A and B are shown apart, each in its own frame.
Chain A
Amino acid sequence: MEGYGRSSMKERRREVLASLEKLGYDVYRTIESGEFPYVSMPSRSTRNILYDPKLRQYVLGGQTVKRTARNIRHLRPLTQLIWVATIAHQLCSQGKTSTLRDVFYMAQAFEVDFVDQYESDDIITDLETVVGLPREDFNIYPEERSSIFGDLTIEYTVPGYEGRRINLLSHPDGFVIGPTLSTAEFVECGAERVIVIEKGAMFTRLVEEKAYEKFKAILIHTAGQPPRASRKLIRRLNRELDLPVYIFVDGDPWGMHIAMVIISGSANAAHITDLTTPDARWAGVYASDITRYKLPSDPLTEIDVKRLYELKNDPRYRSGIWSKEIDVFLQHRRKAEQEAFSRYGLSYIVDVYLKERMEELG
């Protein structure tokens, strides 16, 4: 079992700094010996993204790419990559964090300007691929934040807050899963499971309906496709505290895929391996729930249908409940939101639906 134990956090930081410095030394020595500096990394082209059935997630294959200062077209991205490494090193050694957007703007002061944030995000992903660590380890986070609520006591490790503890039941709007929470250690846990919810309104509803008590659950709100920090947290809750994870999303291909990404990762994070929670369970809304619970529903749009066919081609959707539900979607051509249960009153979702579903899934 891996974890962010007190000592492991520090060690992890030393490791991160060391791998960034190694990159620097390699470049330094190559230049000194009169050779063109370069970096090699696994290719992230679609042809090199493979599904690993054992890991149950996408991984990068054996192809590598080399970015060398010899090639004029590589010069700029290589410079940017080494710059990002420098920034990451600064952030980590000073214990500061920054957002992807910050990094984009910081570049201007160093005259390594990015055309847009897509480009800087991409270079950051390159750095992840080169050193094999997620950007959160370099203290770089995306803007969007998800939140958490439940009976879990944590202890901060960030400078200025080390040792402080807090119980995550203490604020009913939930706690933002930001850099400090992501690096906190778990101290005590009264919950027995984790329920992940796609939408903010439903998260609030579950807090109000005391789902955390009724199910002894930690509630996590992803706000759409979950940021990596929340995926990592879900994984830790599952691995370190042994809590089963249930994912409750909209009944459409997009919701389905949010669940899948939490369970087995996304293709564009194929270079990062510890973000997934393979044992998590998709808990609905299923396509079959629409008829089973007579839910108010909408017809699938063309884009929905196209997305369903795309998912059908993904090896992870080829078996079990995934392939079965895709077929039901395509058959009835209807979708339903999480809120659809409100037609049976505010508590129906917790007292009936989720209760039944949890029992079914065991």
Chain B
Amino acid sequence: MSGQEFREISPSEFFYRHREIVGFTNPARATYTSIREFVENSLDAAEAIGVPPDIHVTLMRDEGFEFEVYRLRVEDNGSGIPGEYIPYAFGRILYGSKHTLKQMRGIFGLGGKMAILYGQITTNRPVHIVSSTGGRDVYEYRLLIDVEKNSPIIVEERIHRNGNPKWRGTVVEVFLEGDYQRSSSKIIEYFKETAMANPYAELSFIDPYGVLHLFRRSTTKLPPASREVKPHPHGVDVETLRRIINSTDCKTLKELLVKSFHRVGETIADRFLKTYSLDPYRDPASLTPGEIVDLAYALKNFEEFLPPDPSCLSPLGEELLLEGVRKELNPEFAVAIQRKPSAYSGYPFIVEVALAYGGGTPQTGRITLYRFANKIPLLYDESSDVSWKVVNQVIDWRHYKIDPTRDPVAVIVHICSTRIPYRTLGKEFIADRPEIEAEITRAVRIVARRLADYLSHKRRVEKAREYFSVYERYLRKIACFSSMLTGMDEPDIDKLLRRVKRWKGMEEAL
């Protein structure tokens, strides 16, 4: 073959070339995605140390360019980053602290850097980071990313003494080519929905017009923190298995199974090895590549492994979800339920669904859907999402006497998992895994039933009230006319009205 050149490209270069797949398609979308990536890092950083997040975002027009450039600044009260990690955390793609089996918003070690990279290629300005873990020092960096080498270029590095009281948190500031006019509604929506799924977070956003959008926390209660877990045998692929074997100290297969995998005990390990005629005392290091493939296959298919333990998940819980929905939608009626944990291919997940009706619930001519994954709002490609399918195609709302075209109903779906089955790296919509679809469907049915009960009670009450008011109105008139006819004082109708109130069905409803 001639004329063809073989060359490896770095991850930075790869994502630089394909930045649209992570949400940097155009200046408007990039403005939204940048804000989102930094805010999510900040939320993770605060939750990781168990403090209610305080996040302040400023987006300002910078006039020093010939095109539309904004300065984006995000400040949080999170964990902060140890000084020595800052250059890599912000300057090397796929470098991150979240490649674990623990539920966090960040996954790929990509998001923040993509925003930084986008800013760098559109404005040629370094990212500015100030961070402290609350210790003696505060670190300040100005960084550029070397795209070809996928490594940070430190433009400026300074260490300051922390003040008293000690400040802890991170400030990230980037310049980027943006378009606020076209992205403002999505950005505001993003904050509103983030506030809904994180009612314990205080969010403020000062937009380029200088307008402050403030989303106050309504509780300081955090959802239970998630624990990190070992991989579940059902979720293990050949590559992961190979890495586990390479890095283990275990001397036998059985020991490897029990120590390196989630929810595998001695008994189950024995049964598994017996089923597949494997020698429990075999040294894992002696497995041939072919045998590793077979083992991975066996692990995936052995049905007696216990399902994954959801302690690695951090769902909101019914109380917090309800709190968030009430806070942001101010509905007349709201209900939230959490389904019991379930799993798909070895990844545990929990579905939480809330429903809001009336009051401030938007009336859009169809059911308004709010989708969340690991507490992140999903704002794009709604109709490709599994929740959309459930709400618009699977559920027959007539069954609950709800008219989606007329009734102001919002459904809020939150999926949390150590691995959300996103269809793309842009974290915008969720593939329809049958296990997840089934859980969402069950949950939506339950909340729809609750709304139906509420509405039928409400209708009964309204009817009783109306019924009563008809008596009240006409009896009053009759009393008045009888007094006009006779010239006597108006007779007292209270006794009669009390009788009406005691009638069947009236007493409980009124």
The reply to whether A112 and B477 form a contact with Cβ atoms under 8 Å apart is yes
Contact code string B457-500 (vs A, CB < 8 Å = 1, else 0): 00000000001001100110111011111101001110110010
Tell whether, in the assembled complex, residue B491 and residue A31 are in contact, meaning their CB atoms are under 8 Å apart: yes
Find out whether the CB atom of B485 lies under 8 angstroms from the CB atom of A20: yes
Question: Does B475 lie within 8 Å of A69, measured CB to CB?
Answer: yes
Contacting pair A23 B485 (CB below 8 A) = yes
Closest to A76 in B: B474
CA of A151 to CA of B493 in the docked complex: distance in angstroms?
A: 57
CB proximity to B under 8 Å, residues A11-42: 20-21, 23-25, 27-28, 31-32, 34-37
B492 proximity list for chain A (CB < 8 A) = 31-32
A269 to chain B, nearest CB (A): 25
Select the residue from A27, A31, A34 with max chain B CB neighbours within 10 A: A31
A82 interfacial contact with B, CB 8 Å? yes
Beta-carbon contact of A69 and B485 below 8 Å? no
- Complex Cα distance A84/B475, Å? 16
In the assembled complex, the Cα of A34 lies from the Cα of B494 at a distance in Å of 8
List the B side residues contacting A24 at CB < 8 Å.
Answer: 481-482, 484-486
Chain B interfacial residues counted at CB < 8 A: 21
Q: Given A34-B499, A83-B481, is A28 in contact with B474 using a C-beta cutoff of 8 Å?
A: no
CA distance A14 to B492 in the complex (A): 29
- Chain B residues with Cβ below 8 Å from A28 are 482-483, 485-486, 488, 491
Closest to B468 in A: A72
Look across to chain A and name the residue whose beta carbon is closest to the beta carbon of B499. A34
Is B477 in contact with A79, judged by CB distance below 8 angstroms?
yes
| Chain A residues within 8 Å of B499, by CB | 34
* Beta-carbon contact of A72 and B467 below 8 Å: yes
Question: A85 touches which one: B467, B485, B496 (CB < 8 A)?
Answer: B485
A25 neighbours in B (Cβ, 8 Å)? 482, 485-486
* A151 CB → nearest B CB, Å: 43
Bound-state Cα–Cα, A76 to B475, Å: 10
* Cα–Cα distance between A85 and B482 once the two chains are bound (Å): 9
Q: Is the CB of B481 within 8 A of A31?
A: no
Q: Are A27 and B478 in contact (CB under 8 A)?
A: yes
The docked-state distance in angstroms from the alpha carbon of A35 to that of B481 is 17
- Taking CB atoms, residues of chain A closer than 8 Å to B495 are 34
Instruction: Out of A36, A86, A111, name the residue touching B485 (CB < 8 Å).
Output: A86
Most buried by A among B471, B477, B481, B491: B481
Contact with B along A70-81 (1 / 0, CB 8 A): 001001101100
B478 contacts A72, C-beta separation under 8 Å: no
Contact yes or no, B486 A75, CB < 8 A: no
Contact A27 B467 (CB under 8 A): no
When each residue 53-83 of chain A gets 1 if its CB lies under 8 Å from chain B and 0 otherwise, what string results? 0000000000000000100100110110011
Chain B residue with the shortest CB-CB distance to A35: B496
Known: A31-B492, A31-B496, A72-B467. A21 touches B478 (CB 8 A): no
* Residue from the list B474, B484, B486 in contact with A69, Cβ < 8 A: B474
Contact (A75, B471) CB under 8 Å given A28-B483, A36-B496, A86-B481: yes
- Contact between A82 and B481, CB atoms less than 8 A apart: yes
Is A89 located at the chain interface by the 8 A CB criterion? yes
Residue of A nearest to B491 (CB): A31
CB distance from A286 to the nearest CB of B (A): 50
Least CB separation from A27: chain B residue: B482
B467 — nearest CB in chain A belongs to which residue?
A: A72
Contact A86 B484, CB 8 Å, known A34-B495, A75-B470, A75-B471 = yes
Residues of B within 8 A of A20 (CB): 485
Shortest B74–chain A CB gap in Å is: 62
Residues of chain A lying within 8 A (CB to CB) of residue B488: 28
Minimum CB–CB distance from A9 to chain B (whole Å) comes to 22
Q: Is the CB of A85 within 8 A of B481?
A: yes
A278 vs B313: C-alpha distance when bound (angstroms): 98
State A75–B473 Cα separation when bound (angstroms). Answer: 10
Cα separation A85 to B483 with both chains bound (whole Å): 12
A99 to B495, CA, bound (A): 38
Chain B residues contacting A79 (CB-CB under 8 Å) are 474, 477-478, 481
Note all chain B residues with C-beta closer than 8 A to A75. 470-471, 474-475
User: Which A residues lie within 8 Å of B482 (CB)?
Assistant: 24-25, 27-28, 31, 37, 82
B129: min CB distance to chain A, Å = 72
User: How far apart are A34's CB and chain B's nearest CB, in angstroms?
Assistant: 4
Bound complex: CA A24 to CA B484 (Å): 8
Q: Report which of A21, A31, A35 forms a contact with B479, defined as CB distance below 8 A.
A: A31
Considering only residues 235-270 of chain B, those with a C-beta below 8 Å from chain A are none
B282-299 vs A: 1/0 string, CB under 8 Å?
Answer: 000000000000000000
Q: How far is the CA of A86 from the CA of B478 in the complex (A)?
A: 10
Taking CB atoms, residues of chain A closer than 8 Å to B483 are 28
Partner of B478, one of A34, A69, A89, A111: A69
The 8 closest A-B pairs by CB, nearest first: A24-B485, A31-B491, A34-B495, A75-B474, A24-B486, A27-B482, A28-B482, A82-B481
Please report A residues at the B interface, Cβ cutoff 8 Å.
Answer: 20-21, 23-25, 27-28, 31-32, 34-37, 69, 72, 75-76, 78-79, 82-83, 85-86, 89, 110-112
- Can you identify 5 A-B contacts, CB atoms within 8 angstroms? A23-B485, A28-B486, A31-B491, A37-B482, A75-B471
| Given A89-B485, A110-B477: 6 more A-B contacts, CB < 8 Å | A25-B485, A31-B479, A31-B492, A32-B492, A72-B471, A82-B478
